[in-house]
Amino acid sequence: MTQYLCKSIGCNQPFFASTPEDFCEDCRDTLPTEPPRLAETDPNGKHQHDRGAKVDAGKVRMHLITGGMARAITEVAKVGTFGAAKYTDGGWVDVPDGFRRYEDAQQRHAASRHMGEELDKESQLLHLSHEAWNALAKLDLYLRGIEPKGRYSRDTRPA
């Protein structure tokens, strides 16, 4: 048996395993499983090889966000553009302890907004847009597996 340190946010507990593991047993139990895949079918009932068939029933309908929330997406993109000009394109992915730091930034913007400040002083963009950008950054880090899944950060972990 070899000793490892759990890589879950806020855990870092030592544990023993016979094969290399990233998470202790408690944290492994909280990891999400893949959702079941829906069978691809044509929404009009056509066979997939029939002329005019498109087997996209059950697939993600991206236009609901990109089209239906175009104004909000544009405002969040403005925050991303501001950040890329201030730092570097895509550099946010490599920020050490990024999940926790984006959580902190999101909460700072929320606090400013709750105190009645609508626009961020530096960027002149909505605090709400900054909050959304930080939420998306955290989600993306989580989905990339850069941040351990299934645990709270140190600062938001329930007592």
Question: What pLDDT digit, counting tens, does each position of 28-83 carry?
Answer: 666 666 555 556 788 888 888 888 888 887 888 888 898 999 999 999 999 999 99
Domain housing 96:
61-152
Q: How confident is the prediction for the chain on average, in pLDDT?
A: 83
Structural domain count of the chain: 2
142 and 101 part of one domain: yes
Percent of the chain with pLDDT over 90: 47
Residue 130 CA to residue 137 CA, distance in Å, equals: 10
Global confidence as pTM: 0.65
101 and 140 part of one domain: yes
29 and 65 part of one domain: no
> Residue 159: inside a domain, yes or no?
no
The answer to whether 58 touches 39, Cβ cutoff 8 Å, is: yes
Residue 40 CA to residue 57 CA, distance in Å, equals: 6
101 and 144 part of one domain: yes
The first and second tokens of residue 61, run together, are 């309908």
25 and 69 part of one domain: no
Closest CA to 22 of 9, 6, 11: 6
The answer to whether 152 touches 99, Cβ cutoff 8 Å, is: no
